[in-house]
Amino acid sequence: MKIFLNTDTFNETALSTKEKLTKLSNGIDFEIVSEISNADMVFSIGGDGTFLKTSRLTDKPIIGINTGTLGYLTEVSPKDLKNALIDIINGKYHIEERMMIEGRIIKSNGETVKIPESLNEIAISKNTFGVVRFDAIVNDKLINSYTADGILVCTPTGSTAYNLSCGGPIADPTAEILTLTPIAPHTVINRSIVLSKSSTVKIKITELRQNSPAYALYDGKPIEVYSGDIIEIKKSQKTTKIVKFDDRSFIDTIRENIN
């Protein structure tokens, strides 16, 4: 078994976890490789943010080692590393595939900018000068025109992230749906819309304050967008493969994290 270690978290726990894995490789039958392309499995060491970045780097199975705060995606604690490795070597795990989304920005001058694959969501967010006005279009049909802080297009995995804090629904992470959730809209009705996996969502920016940019954020990473730009979002062909060791349901994970 060849394993690549990925971390962008340099706190004491993450560094000691990386060191512990290196020491364990001397006693357990696995090899740590320096190139992710040579790995059979990738260990994401950090929090959920590190896991999200790792999901964009590879199509190999990923196991999340939680040295951060939240643990919706990073399920293994550093103290359980040895047992996790032994289970992996003995084949006592399964792979859970998660849907991802991708997009592109169609600029007002006709140019396009790719939005990388995202495991949680692609969000349209206001700038510091105020709200953003936009049209939400699904399969070339206008749903609504919004004045709001923004809007989310999220995956089932992302339903417990930004979407949840905006009042959106929680979805089974293995489902294949898109959820459209407005962020603080200036309307009486503030409801999410659940769409099929085959839907194509377009968000057309119609007005911005002081002509300053708004942002298209893929799992929190920003790209500037301007009035007249169209952000097109759809299901990606790429999936994230997550290593699982037991049959805990997502309800168990939600209950533990909420409590």
Which pLDDT score is estimated for 257? 65
Architecture of domain 2-92: 3-Layer(aba) Sandwich (3.40)
**pLDDT tier, 254 (very low <50, low <70, confident <90, very high otherwise):** confident
Rounded to 10 deg, the angle between the 81-89 and 12-24 helix axes is 40
pLDDT exceeds cutoff 80 at 255 = no
User: Per residue in 220-252, pLDDT tens?
Assistant: 999 999 999 999 999 999 999 999 987 767 777
Polymer length in residues for the chain = 259
Residue entry with tokens 């643990």: 71
The model's pTM: 0.92
Residue 201 pLDDT > 70: yes
Catalytic residue numbers, as ranges = 48
Right CATH number for 100-238 from 3.90.180.10, 2.60.200.30, 3.40.50.720, 3.30.1380.20?
2.60.200.30
Contact 180, 201 (CB under 8 A): yes
How would you label 113-137 residue by residue, b for 16+ Cβ within 10 Å and e otherwise? eebebbbbbbbbbbbeeebbbbebb
CATH code 2.60.200.30 region(s) in the chain: 100-238
- pLDDT for residue 68: 78
Rg (CA), the chain: 20
- Say which residues have a Cβ less than 8 Å from residue 27's Cβ, sequence separation at least 6: none
Rounded to whole angstroms, the Cα distance separating 208 from 133 reads: 7
Output the average pLDDT for the chain: 92
Place of tokens 């936009």: 134
| pLDDT digit string, tens, across residues 101-142 | 999 999 989 999 999 999 999 999 998 878 999 999 999 999
Q: What is the pLDDT of residue 258?
A: 65
CA 130 to chain centre: 26
> DSSP code of 93?
-
The pLDDT-based confidence of 259 (bands split at 50, 70, 90) is low
Report pLDDT digits (tens) over 50-99.
999 999 999 999 999 999 776 778 889 999 999 999 999 999 999 999 99
Provide the pLDDT for residue 15.
87
Tokens describing residue 165: 């804090």
Terminal CA-CA length for the chain: 36
SS3 content of the chain, % helix, strand, coil (to 5): 20, 40, 35
Place of tokens 């407005």: 182
* pLDDT tens digits, one per residue of 3-59: 999 998 778 888 899 999 999 988 899 999 999 999 999 999 999 999 999 999 999
- CATH 3.40.50.10330 domain position(s) in the chain: 2-92
